Chain A
Amino acid sequence: MISFSNFLQARSSVSSASNGAVLPFVILLFIATLSCALGNLLFDADSLFYVSTYTITLLGKYLCYALLALAVDIIWGYCGILSLGHGAFFALGGYAMGMYLMRQIGDRGVYGNPELPDFMVFLDWQQLPWYWQGFDQFWFAMVMVALVPGLLAFVFGWLAFRSRVTGVYLSIITQALTYALLLAFFRNEMGFGGNNGLTDFKDILGYSLQADSTRVALLITTAIAVALVLVVSQLILKSRMGKVIIAIRDTEARARFLGYRTDRYKVWLFVYSAVIAGIAGALYVPQVGIINPGEFAPLNSIEIVVWVAIGGRGTLVGAIVGALLVNYAKTRFTAIMPEVWLFALGGLFVLVTLFLPKGLAGLASDLKHKFIARNTKNQQVQN
C-alpha cells in the first residue's frame, strides 16, 4: 500500500510539473514560430536572421509530429490505452487533405483531365468514384479530416472497449487495424493512387504550395493547432472527466465498481485522440507534398509511442518535447550516418525505459524537486 501511494505521489508530482508548463510552452512556441516566419519573409537570403524555407517546412513537419505525439499521449499517458495504430488516423486525415489537394490540381495534371486525377486516367477510369465526390470543396475535405478518423475510432473503440479488450490485446488489434489499412490502400482498385499515393499537389485554397508565404502560413496554422489542442486537452484532463480518465488508467476495475461506465469514457477519449491525429495528418500532407500507404506502416505507429516515452508520458508538454527532439535527432542522424539511426532510436528507447521511466519530463521534475530540497536544507543550515 505504501508503495502504491508513493507511486501515486510520483505520478501527481509529474503532472503538476507539466500543468505549470503549458502556458510558458505556448508562449515559447509562438515566439519561436513568429520569429522564424519573420526571418523567412522579411530578410534576404544572405542576412544573418534569414530562416530558409526548408527550415520552415521542416519545423512545420516537426509540429505535425508533435500534434500526433499529443494524440497518443492523451490516451496512453492519461488513460493507459496503448494504441500501436495511431498512424492510421494520421494517414486517414492526410488522405482526406490529399484528396482535396488532388482535386485542386484540375487540368494541370500530366494528362490534363479537368475532372480525374492522373492515376485514375492511367487506370482508364471513366468517372470519379462516389467517395471522391465533394472533395473539391475545402470545407467538405476539412469535415472529412475529422469525421473519418473519428468515426473509425468510434466504431473500433466502441467494439473493443465494450467487450473489455485491454492491454496487449488492444495494442495487437490496433496494430492489425493499421496494417490492414496499409494493405488496402496499396491496392489500385481502392482508388487512392495505390502505392504511389497522392502527390504532385499544386495549390491550397488558390495559393501555390511552392510559395514561401504559403509555407509560412502552414507553419503558423500548425503552431496554432498545437497550442489549441494543448490548452483544450489540459482543460479536459483537469476536469471531472479527466479525473475519471486518470482513475481508469490507475485501476480500471475500481473505477468501474465505483459506478463509472469506464468504456464510455475510453471511447470518447479515443475518438478525441483520433481526431487530433487526423488533423495532424491533414496539416502534414500539404507541407511534405505527398501522402502514400507507407504512412500506415506499423513501424510509424510504434515510433510515435517511442517519442512519447522519451518525452515523458502523462505530461502533455513532455510528449511534444519528445517528438521534437527525436525528430530533430533523426534529421541530423540520417544526414550524417543513415544506417545508424534505427540503432540509435532503439538504444535511446531502452536507455530511457531503464533510467528515465518517466521520460525527460520526469527528469526535469526530479531535478526541480532536488533543487528545491537542497535550497530548503541550505536555509535550515543558515538558520
Chain B
Amino acid sequence: MIALSNFLQARSSVSSASNLVLVFITLFIQKRPKGLLPQKGRAAE
C-alpha cells in the first residue's frame, strides 16, 4: 500500500494519492467482497 501510495505521490499531490488508494480499496472490496482468499465450503456463510 505504501509503495502504491509513494508511486502515486510522485504523479500527483499527497492527498489525492491517498484518495486514490481509498478509492482503490473501495473498488477492490466491491469486486471481491470476501477478500483475496475467501473462506470456502460449509464454514462460509
Residue positions of A touching B, CB distance < 8 A: 159-160, 163-166, 169, 172-173, 176-177, 179-180, 183-184, 186-187, 253
| Contact in complex: A160, B30 (CB < 8 Å) | yes
Asked if B18 lies at the interface with its beta carbon under 8 angstroms from chain A, I say yes
A187 in contact with B15 given A176-B25, A253-B45 (CB within 8 Å): yes
A173 in contact with B45 given A180-B19, A180-B22, A183-B15 (CB within 8 Å): no
Q: What's the Cα separation between A186 and B16 when bound, in Å?
A: 10
Asked if B41 lies at the interface with its beta carbon under 8 angstroms from chain A, I say no
| Contact in complex: B33, A184 (CB < 8 Å) | no
Residues of the B chain whose Cβ atoms lie less than 8 Å from the Cβ of A184: 15-16, 19
Q: Tell me the smallest distance from the CB of A85 to a CB of chain B, in Å.
A: 10
Q: Tell me the smallest distance from the CB of A195 to a CB of chain B, in Å.
A: 11
Residues of B in contact (CB 8 Å), total 16
- As a 0/1 sequence over residues 23 to 41 of chain B, the CB contacts with chain A under 8 angstroms (1 = contact) are 1011001110111000000
**10 new A-B contacts at CB < 8 Å, known A169-B35, A180-B23, A183-B16:** A160-B29, A165-B29, A173-B26, A173-B30, A176-B22, A179-B22, A183-B15, A184-B15, A187-B13, A187-B16
Residues of the B chain whose Cβ atoms lie less than 8 Å from the Cβ of A186: 15
Residues of the B chain whose Cβ atoms lie less than 8 Å from the Cβ of A183: 15-16, 18-19, 22
| Contact in complex: A159, B23 (CB < 8 Å) | no
Residues of the A chain whose Cβ atoms lie less than 8 Å from the Cβ of B23: 176, 180
Q: Tell me the smallest distance from the CB of B18 to a CB of chain A, in Å.
A: 6
Q: Tell me the smallest distance from the CB of B37 to a CB of chain A, in Å.
A: 14
| Contact in complex: B33, A164 (CB < 8 Å) | yes
Q: What's the Cα separation between A184 and B23 when bound, in Å?
A: 12
Q: What's the Cα separation between A115 and B31 when bound, in Å?
A: 44
- As a 0/1 sequence over residues 8 to 20 of chain B, the CB contacts with chain A under 8 angstroms (1 = contact) are 0000010110110
Q: What's the Cα separation between A177 and B26 when bound, in Å?
A: 8
Residues of the B chain whose Cβ atoms lie less than 8 Å from the Cβ of A172: 25, 29
By beta carbon, the residue of chain B nearest A175 is: B22
Q: Tell me the smallest distance from the CB of A166 to a CB of chain B, in Å.
A: 7
Q: Tell me the smallest distance from the CB of B19 to a CB of chain A, in Å.
A: 5
Q: What's the Cα separation between A181 and B26 when bound, in Å?
A: 13
A173 in contact with B29 given A180-B22, A180-B23 (CB within 8 Å): yes
| Contact in complex: B30, A163 (CB < 8 Å) | yes
3 closest A-B pairs by beta carbon, nearest first, are A180-B22, A165-B33, A183-B15
Q: What's the Cα separation between A169 and B19 when bound, in Å?
A: 18
